């Protein structure tokens, strides 16, 4: 199944709120980076057999924009890039073998404010969306990639996340910390090049922690 996400989905939701005229709203924008804890067993078995370090974590960074649709609900869109490159167990400048995970994910996100007082912000969130993923392998016997993606704004596999964020700041600028869980399993890969290892699924699910900046209450306008 394909998952169509992005601006069109965001705008369609806005229309369903039945806003009859332009209205100024306080928008939240978040910029974040951090790490996910992962254990993709099939991928690790394949790369360790090639003398490459196994995957235990993946870097992530991204941006999120939300706006209030109800008193206790903010809604928006979140983009996350997952990326991690692992090199050989014993680094060798001559061979430079490695395996890289590269994934683009988009979530439609709902946030429930828990605390908005003074300099403090706390909320809980959940989101659902999709990903496009590429795993690139370069070793003594393999040189190619496994891909699971769709073109033109479509996403190939489902992706979900939930968690809690907390921050401290002043006026519109806040330092935010977020922890949560991601459900992120990718299967149905297409092979290219000389990759030969059996790869039915790459499981990137796990806990994550990010730190970032939130701009809270930026004036925005919605309506017909």
Can you list the alpha helix ranges (DSSP code H) found in the chain?
Answer: 7-16, 41-49
Look up the pTM and report it: 0.87
Amino acid 59: pLDDT = 98
Q: How far apart are CA 161 and CA 180, in angstroms?
A: 7
Identify the pLDDT of residue 24: 67
- Residue 224's pLDDT is 52
- Check residue 223 and give its pLDDT: 53
Token output for 125:
């969130």
Given a contact cutoff of 8 angstroms between Cβ atoms, the answer to whether 31 and 223 are in contact is no
pLDDT at 23 (0 to 100):
65
Q: Do 168 and 196 meet the contact criterion of CB atoms below 8 Å apart?
A: no
Residue ranges per domain, the chain?
Answer: 3-173+180-205
Rounded Cα distance, 108 and 124, in Å:
14
pLDDT attached to residue 8: 43
Q: Look at residue 30 in the predicted model and tell me its pLDDT.
A: 97
Residues of the chain scoring pLDDT < 70? 1-24, 152-153, 220-224
């Amino acid at each position: 199944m394909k998952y169509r996400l992005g601006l069109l989905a965001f705008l369609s939701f806005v229309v369903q709120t039945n806003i009859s005229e332009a209205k100024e709203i306080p928008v939240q924008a978040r910029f974040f980076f951090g790490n996910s804890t992962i254990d993709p067993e099939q991928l690790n078995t394949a790369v360790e057999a090639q003398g490459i370090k196994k995957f235990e974590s993946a870097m992530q960074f991204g941006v999120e924009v939300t706006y209030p649709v109800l008193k206790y609900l903010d809604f928006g869109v979140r983009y996350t890039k997952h990326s991690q490159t692992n090199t050989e167990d014993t680094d060798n400048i001559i061979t430079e073998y490695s395996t890289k995970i590269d994934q683009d994910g988009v979530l439609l996100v709902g946030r429930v404010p828990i605390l908005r007082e003074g300099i403090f912000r706390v909320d809980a969130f959940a989101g659902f969306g999709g990903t496009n993923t590429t795993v690139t392998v370069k070793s003594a016997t393999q040189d190619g990639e496994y891909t699971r993606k769709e073109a033109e704004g479509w996403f190939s596999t489902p992706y979900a996340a939930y968690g809690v964020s907390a921050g401290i700041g002043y006026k519109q600028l806040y330092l935010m910390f977020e922890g949560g869980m991601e459900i992120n399993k990718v299967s149905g890969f297409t092979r290219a090049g000389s990759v030969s290892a059996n790869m039915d699924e790459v499981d990137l699910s796990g806990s994550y922690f990010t730190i970032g900046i939130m701009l809270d209450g930026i004036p925005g306008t919605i309506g017909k």
